[in-house]
Amino acid sequence: MRVLAALSGGVDSAVAAARALDAGHEVVGVHMALSRSRDRFRTGSRGCCSIEDAGDARRAADVLGIPFYVWDLSERFEETVVADFLDEYAAGRTPNPCVRCNEHVKFSTLLDRALALGFDAVCTGHYARVAAEDDGGRSLHRARDAAKDQSYVLAVMGPDRLAHALFPLGDVASKAVVRQEAAARGLAVSEKPDSYDICFVADGDTSGFLRARLGERPGDVVDASGAVLGRHDGAYAFTVGQRKGLQLGRPAPDGRPRYVLSVEPVRNRVVVGPVEELAVGEVVADRAVWFDAPPPGAWTDALVQVRAHGTPVPARVLVPDEARPAAEGPAVPSPGGVVEVVVDEAAGLRGVAPGQSLVVYEGTRVRGQATVLRATRAGALAGGLPSTVGGGRR
């Protein structure tokens, strides 16, 4: 196959490209220039897309003996990933930019260009496995190394994109093995630190980034009764489940910590309360993307995960067979677009925020993904309008 290897400048993508070569593929390397400020270097192990990373990617391609190109996708990245990030926080939701990047850039723009140029697949350094199915299709699975598994952020790609994706690191035992392999191949990135946090917030100060882009919007921090407990500079800087940085003027009467229960951008308020108010029994998500959708109208046992490094929890999943009224706003269309989830009470799921990605698993296999619309306490779906934890779309 003709394979386009996405070289980020890190060790994972370099070893993935090397393994694609070992498998007999014709490999060409490409570095995606995603940042509009690429003259700055990454800060420690934070960030990516700097000149340093482009140089590391080029040197890796030289060692592997493959052609190398740099594609400037910064405009697409800004218009989709960064714009979505800002819009979601401004609306009181909590987005995952890695999910949006995989959806709009790596397995949309990059893959579309690759296919148009005659490549058969895109190869990346993601930790996930792809399995062939009896019907000729392919399924997405968790990586062998659970600590590095990235199937959660890849679930949004869907079956059509998965058909043209290679993840050569899915079966490695650990990141240490990848580093050892890189060193043995003479790749200088073998000891390069991992990037983490949000790649386009290189200094790790997400609140500062949001404030610089969205401006200061002072408002109140209140309890469930509406009593003012403190002030904030922008409700967008808070997310459901947050405990630190609340800047409260006085402690709770019982002395216990308070957590963010909801963010209300229209009223510019942040509502806080005790940790038990974060308990989630039911979730409604929309914009579903399925590899293997449950039959409409029937509850299906599954595992669901709501954070990239979260613990999957037992749940029952329903794809409604007709449009159902949402708690806020107009009726939500279905089937396919909406997913209803009832979580096992013993799972202790807490602090699910609108905007988070909800991924449905069956064992290690990804069945589908959707974006959280609202999270509610147990019994809300059966009882009509839910008591909302975290709110919904605004």
* pLDDT (tens digit per residue) in 340-378: 999 988 888 999 999 999 999 999 999 999 999 999 976
Q: What is the pLDDT of residue 51?
A: 74
Q: What percent of the chain has pLDDT over 90?
A: 75
- Is residue 125 within 8 A of residue 14, CB to CB? The reply is yes
* Across 202-223, average pLDDT: 90
Q: What is the pLDDT of residue 325?
A: 46
Q: What are the structure tokens assigned to 363, written together?
A: 């064992």
Ordered structural domains, the chain, with CATH: 2-191 (3.40.50.620), 216-277 (2.30.30), 279-389 (2.40.30.10)
Q: What are the structure tokens assigned to 259, written together?
A: 């957590």
pLDDT confidence of 379, banded at 50, 70, 90? low
Residues annotated as catalytic (active site), given as ranges:
101, 199
Would you tell me the crossing angle of helices 11-22 and 175-184 to the nearest 10 degrees?
70
Q: What are the structure tokens assigned to 117, written together?
A: 């140029």
d(CA 51, CA 359): 34
Q: What is the pLDDT of residue 326?
A: 44
Is residue 386 scored above 60 in pLDDT?
no
pLDDT digits (tens, 9 = 90+) for 276-327: 999 999 999 999 999 999 999 999 999 999 999 899 999 999 998 765 544 4
DSSP character string of 115-179: HHTT-SEEE----EEEEE-TTS-EEEEE-SSTTT--HHHHGGGHHHHHTTEE-TTTT-S-HHHHH
DSSP character string of 354-386: TT-EEEEEETTEEEEEEEEEEEE-TTTTTTSS-
Share of the chain residues as helix, strand and coil, in percent rounded to the nearest 5: 25, 25, 45
d(CA 34, CA 42): 13
Is residue 385 scored above 80 in pLDDT?
no
Q: What is the pLDDT of residue 364?
A: 97
pLDDT confidence of 387, banded at 50, 70, 90? very low
Q: What is the pLDDT of residue 41?
A: 44
DSSP state of 237: G
117 φ, ψ to 5°? Answer: -90, 5
Please report the sign of the dihedral spanned by the C-alpha atoms of residue 352, residue 357, residue 361, residue 365: negative
* pLDDT, averaged across the chain: 88
d(CA 117, CA 262): 47
66 alpha carbon, distance to own chain's centre: 31
Is residue 202 scored above 80 in pLDDT?
no
